[in-house]
Structure 1
């Protein structure tokens, strides 16, 4: 069955692409890209969203607070100013399925009213008032695992078993959502690659990703251009496309349903090859 995202529905029987659109001056990859004279440019943001949709993105993920390692929190009003006009334009003018990347209850409410179809929260609705605000929107939510907070999360992450601990956390947050009135088909999960995890933790999570995919909730992953590729390959952010594509393929092979990426066209090619192989295998199965 398709997942309902506000006014949109999406069949997750094959992998889908979420294009990243950060309306921040300081995100690690595209921060400041849509600014002119120190101010966010709505036409530039809209142009980028249109480009990603043309390249094959199934949804656009709009965020106004950087959560890169060491990031400084922004005020609620500043996040609202960065996010809501872009959500309204991308959903309204382009008719796109919009995900809003936020932990703020006010941004959740205002973005839903502006046309967002998914709430994507790196803090898994743990900020005060977020669980209730998200549930009242009626939208599905993506719950992500993060150890610590963005400003400190990469200092010394520690786990006994990263996969088991991420699994337990996500199931606990699912239970909290169900108790708050969410339906099971409104929940998606994200293991949070790079959020309070060392290179070894990230690789173990990816190797055993099927254990999280088998929990029964659609799995969203974000590995595009991340620092683990810098550590593995010695490449800076602009040189990480081949590594990002390898991680995208590895993720879908292990059950991921939505891949959050910066490089939409190239990732779309990878997923088309994967889907063609899966279709061919299905056609030859007894």
Structure 2
């Protein structure tokens, strides 16, 4: 006898093949073997009680607040518990119900479809980036004199830093980088904004130099539309906006250049983000923020297949928040976008390792562990300094997952 705890449909399919289950029968039974927990927030009592009865009628269940049953509260959160097949049946039943349940049925179908999706294809201005079993690696090149990881290439009196950046980029690509991310503005906690002129001076010559040589997409890490425009005009294809695409000018710019964009969650700005940490529900709050940003981007003309999301590890988060995000990363899959995560060399890793180790020398092993866990929990892209080491670790993850394919 064996007892299984499956992490995905591939494992279930493999067991059914080993047993010799008919292919059509396996397709019918697969949803019955996939269990889901779905939480709904602030649902009125009438709707909550209808949902509970409908779930019970399907052989599933729903947990609601005691006050929702006794009438002491007006609203309740709900935890729906059932199989994928039962949720499909629930959505069909809700489509003929009043009290806003028709819309809930649409959202339920969409979110479950997104949650199970792994076939992303990021459309770029030149070509596309496909996501399948391989986790993409984004290599970081800091063009700053004050990078938190002490790896900034830019120096005020260095005339050959574009060549240094090119050599570093070529090394990263050889080590397995799928994207190169260039940034001229430090985003470390407490960092102050530099001028547009200075950020352009740091980044544009490097983008221009790299675009002529390297074959992988170039990403520009900036919150300034002026810098993004110059980078896109000289060869960048992705805008990595840590400000979460709040600026309408940035939205219009990305749409006009048909670029891809990374939308990150960050409360406030780098200069004050660690002073305003307050969440009612960490994952829910980040999800709501990113959903609004996605809607804002798409309403401004950015195509759905050009958006990547980033929950913002280390940006307005405590160490506990950062580890919770890694552990619950798959929760963001309901948004239906590729997920990027950037734990590389950050201070929460040093704290977990028991010391304030040097970012450049002492945090590689912790970064590797964080990236492996992120990959297992739903990450599509990891943004790192140590490309070779992380890429090697991810190959082991892929080898394990391919056994179940």
TM-score, scaled to structure 1 = 0.94
Q: Residue deviations 1:31-57, cap 9 Å, x none?
A: 433437456711111111111111110
Which residue matches 2:258? Answer: 138
Do residues 59 (structure 1) and 179 (structure 2) align? Answer: yes
Describe the shift of the 1:30–1:45 C-alpha distance in structure 2 as closer, same or farther (beyond 3 A): farther
Which residue matches 1:202? Answer: 322
Task: Give 1:217's match in structure 2, choosing from 316, 330, 337.
Answer: 337
Which residue matches 1:83? Answer: 203
C-alpha displacement of 1:73: 0.4
Give the whole-Å Cα distance in 1 for the aligned partners of 2:160 and 2:189.
Answer: 22
C-alpha displacement of 1:136: 1.3
Secondary structure at 2:335 match in 1 = coil
Indicate if the aligned counterparts of 2:121 and 2:305 stay in contact, CA closer than 8 A: no
Which residue matches 1:117? Answer: 237
Alpha-carbon RMSD across the aligned residues, in angstroms, is 1.5
Give the whole-Å Cα distance in 2 for the aligned partners of 1:164 and 1:123.
Answer: 19
Indicate if the aligned counterparts of 2:268 and 2:276 stay in contact, CA closer than 8 A: no
C-alpha displacement of 1:155: 2.5
Do residues 236 (structure 1) and 358 (structure 2) align? Answer: yes
Secondary structure at 1:141 match in 2 = strand
Moved over 6 A (4+): none
Give the whole-Å Cα distance in 2 for the aligned partners of 1:189 and 1:254.
Answer: 15
Q: What are the equivalent positions in structure 2 for 1:16-165 lying under 5 Å apart?
A: 16-35=136-155, 37=157, 41-127=161-247, 129-165=249-285
Give the whole-Å Cα distance in 2 for the aligned partners of 1:37 and 1:138.
Answer: 35
| Unaligned stretches of 5+ residues in structure 2 | 1-119
Secondary structure at 2:219 match in 1 = strand
C-alpha displacement of 1:277: 1.0
Secondary structure at 1:109 match in 2 = helix
Indicate if the aligned counterparts of 1:220 and 1:257 stay in contact, CA closer than 8 A: yes
Do residues 280 (structure 1) and 403 (structure 2) align? Answer: yes
| Unaligned stretches of 5+ residues in structure 1 | none
Give the whole-Å Cα distance in 1 for the aligned partners of 2:247 and 2:159.
Answer: 28
TM-score, scaled to structure 2 = 0.67
Higher relative contact order (CA 8 A, sep 6+): 1
Residues paired across the two proteins, number: 282
Question: Which structure has the greater CA radius of gyration?
Answer: 2
Do residues 3 (structure 1) and 125 (structure 2) align? Answer: no
Which residue matches 2:99? Answer: none
Describe the shift of the 1:76–1:37 C-alpha distance in structure 2 as closer, same or farther (beyond 3 A): closer
Task: Give 1:255's match in structure 2, choosing from 378, 382, 404.
Answer: 378
Indicate if the aligned counterparts of 1:99 and 1:118 stay in contact, CA closer than 8 A: yes
